[in-house]
Structure 1
Amino acid sequence: MSATVSPPSPSHGTEVPVRGLAISRMWGRSQSAIPTLAAVILLVAMLVYAELAYGRVFHAGTMSSLLVSFAPTIILAVGMTIVILSGGIDLSVGAVVAFTSVSGVMLMNIGVNGWLAVVLMIVFGALFGLVSGVLIQYFNVQPFIATLAMMFLARGLASILSTVPVQAPEDAPILALATDWKLYDGPKTNDLVLTPGFFVAVLVVVGAFVLLHRTRTGRTVYGIGGAENSAQLMGLPVARTRVFIYVLSGALAGLAAVVYTAEVGGKAQNVTGIGWELDAIAAVVIGGTLLTGGAGYVLGSVVGSLVLAALAMIITKDGGIRPEYLTIITGGILLAFVLLQRVLTARRRK
């Protein structure tokens, strides 16, 4: 007579480690979003303070000027986010903005088709990125040094082209990017007025989000920043992707130059973009992207850009704060977020 053996009942003791592991993983993922959440809270707090202290902040007109004026910074921050996610840095973007702006306007002035000149501005920026990418990937030059060299090269070429401001023709098509589009007709001057340049920045953000989170290239970018050797062992195209990252950063710098040149009425000069690379890096770090690479969000960088925009708005509205303090306060905020990243990274390792 055979005995029937019933299957062992699940042990409640094994459920605890499984649940603990799941909670640990969820906590690890949530920790990476803490800096971005802190940036969002800081942005809201700054806007609320400005509204209470100065008024007319949560108005369509104020929000319009805030978004339009920082559209070039948002474009640069998107490119910088992708570079930093890969564990690199790009110090050349501000100087590339200057060179592409001056060269593009000068091409328009000698009779080159306006839209072709716009395309060439983006291509020129991509070429600077290509040189940086090749130096970094195939000649083992540190990203800091390679992009620093490109910064000096681009700034020097811009100064050679012209040491005085140059003006685009009145009928230049680039000026269409600064056309006011009234999306909301509010009382008095409280209108929501945006420009095509702002929507170009929105398209860049959406495109970068899709690239990073929905494509193999995006997974490779995160892989390079997280563990390059592992990415290579997995068969990911590390070399090609790293070069592409810097080409994209340069191209976006050229695009930022297009949007900025349109917003200032077609004027270009060789001193444009000084310090913009630092603003882009600050926006990326405040937005939660790790300087060591491998973790971060492009939407967080947008929030970081808006934090800088809100800070500039507060100083402008106050009137009693010297403009020089903008750099000091930005540095303090940046330091706080870097320390927050260090603390979270140390806890994650433990």
Structure 2
Amino acid sequence: MATDEMTVKARKQPEPKLTGAVHRSRPTLDRRYLPVLGTVVVLVLMLIIGGSRYDNFLSGRVMANLLINNSFLIVVAVGMTFVILTGGIDLSVGAVLALSTCISAWMFVHGWPAYVAIPAAILAGALIGWAVGVMVHVFEIQPFIATLAAMFLARGLCYVIAPESIPITDPTIVKLGTRWDLGGGWAITPSGVIALAVVVVAFVTLHYTRFGRTVYAIGGGEQSARLMGLPVARTKVLVYVISGTCAGLGGLLFAAFSSSGYSLTGVGMELDAIAAVVIGGTLLTGGSGFVLGSVLGVLVLGLIQTIITFEGTLSSWWTKIVIGALLLVFVILQRLLVVRRR
């Protein structure tokens, strides 16, 4: 009975009141999105400044040309994103792009049909990417050295195949550069559609497949990825195959843009692709980044060139100066994020 009375009294005691401030969890922004957010801010500011300073800057025609004129760079930057996410680098994409234009132009001139020439040009890029991947993983050569060797190889093959510019008149390539009027000044080309399709496929692959998760895991820590039983070897080779394939496809889109194949095409384009990926928020150390951010980086580079063109009085070298300044700012931002994360 005594025990029952004590139980009843304990139940009747008032609940203790909480004193002091109540701590409520506030939503915080994931640090991974900060570089991409910075890219969006830069892009919006450039649009606002350009729209207020120049007439017709925000017209449909100018914005459509932004995608059309950079469709090949978008495809190359997508492939570069895969490589940098693993902590690697690919210096060969510009030369591989040029090799693709030279192969396709040479084959068209010598009577090869489009259904043979186009796959051959893309396959050449994939083979060079596979060779680089094997050098990086099997022979443990630094990506910088392996891709530098591939760059010299591809550029040398360009001079062998097409020492002079070869015009392309094949109707299939010509159609890739045909503008489709969407009304209101807006237009798109098949090359632009292909670039957007590549972006969608890359986005789904990186974020919704096991392969994509493995890419991020390798960039976060290759040894940890091995201990988790992930297919590190296959993935490291495949990312360079993807980069080479994207460079080969980008070469075809550039051939449609310029209607020619030339050995000096794409000189320095690997630097533009790396700059677009870094400005788009992908960490150079790997493990963090988004393919959509790389697309925004390409659009930022395109807007810089557009503003320089509208200004008229500025030299084209200002494009490189502004890109260099932006790249420096985003690299410093990445470094600060990495230090803070540690």
Name the TM-score, length of structure 1 as normaliser. 0.91
Structure 1 residue 172: deviation in Å? Answer: 3.4
The one-character-per-residue Cα deviations of 1:106-133 (angstroms, maximum 9, x if unpaired) are 0111121112211111100000100000
User: Whole-Å Cα distance in 2 between the matches of residues 250 and 242 of structure 1?
Assistant: 13
Structure 1 residue 11: deviation in Å? Answer: 11
Structure 2 unpaired stretches of 5+: none
Match of 2:315 among 298, 303, 322: 322
User: Whole-Å Cα distance in 1 between the matches of residues 250 and 323 of structure 2?
Assistant: 22
Contact 1:83 1:246 in 2 (8 A): yes
Match of 1:102 in 2: 102
User: Whole-Å Cα distance in 2 between the matches of residues 128 and 16 of structure 1?
Assistant: 60
Match of 1:234 in 2: 228
Aligned length: 334
User: Whole-Å Cα distance in 1 between the matches of residues 217 and 69 of structure 2?
Assistant: 34
Match of 1:308 among 301, 314, 318: 301
Match of 1:271 in 2: 264
User: Whole-Å Cα distance in 2 between the matches of residues 277 and 228 of structure 1?
Assistant: 25
2:83 counterpart SS class: helix
The amino acid that maps onto 1:326 is: T
How is 1:247-262 mapped onto 2 (pairs within 5 angstroms)? 247-262=241-256
The amino acid that maps onto 2:190 is: P
Match of 1:225 in 2: 219
Contact 2:214 2:235 in 1 (8 A): yes
Structure 1 residue 171: deviation in Å? Answer: 3.7
Residue 177 in structure 1 maps to residue 176 in structure 2: yes
Structure 1 residue 337: deviation in Å? Answer: 0.4
Displaced runs of 4 or more, over 3 A? 1-7, 9-13
| RMSD, matched Cα | 2.1
1:91 counterpart SS class: coil
Match of 1:76 in 2: 76
| Counterparts in 2 of 1:86 and 1:12: CA distance versus 1, 3 Å | farther
User: Whole-Å Cα distance in 2 between the matches of residues 238 and 55 of structure 1?
Assistant: 52
Contact 1:115 1:173 in 2 (8 A): no
User: Whole-Å Cα distance in 1 between the matches of residues 317 and 72 of structure 2?
Assistant: 21
How is 1:50-65 mapped onto 2 (pairs within 5 angstroms)? 50-65=50-65
The amino acid that maps onto 1:61 is: R
Structure 1 residue 48: deviation in Å? Answer: 1.4
User: Whole-Å Cα distance in 2 between the matches of residues 99 and 178 of structure 1?
Assistant: 19
Structure 1 unpaired stretches of 5+: none
User: Whole-Å Cα distance in 2 between the matches of residues 132 and 12 of structure 1?
Assistant: 63
2:187 counterpart SS class: strand
Match of 1:215 among 184, 201, 209: 209
The amino acid that maps onto 2:180 is: W
User: Whole-Å Cα distance in 1 between the matches of residues 111 and 208 of structure 2?
Assistant: 41
2:278 counterpart SS class: helix
1:55 counterpart SS class: coil
Structure 1 residue 86: deviation in Å? Answer: 0.5
Contact 1:118 1:174 in 2 (8 A): no
Structure with the greater alpha carbon radius of gyration: 2
> Once the two structures are aligned, what percentage of the paired residues are identical?
48
The amino acid that maps onto 2:163 is: T
Match of 1:142 in 2: 142
Structure 1 residue 10: deviation in Å? Answer: 11
2:30 counterpart SS class: helix
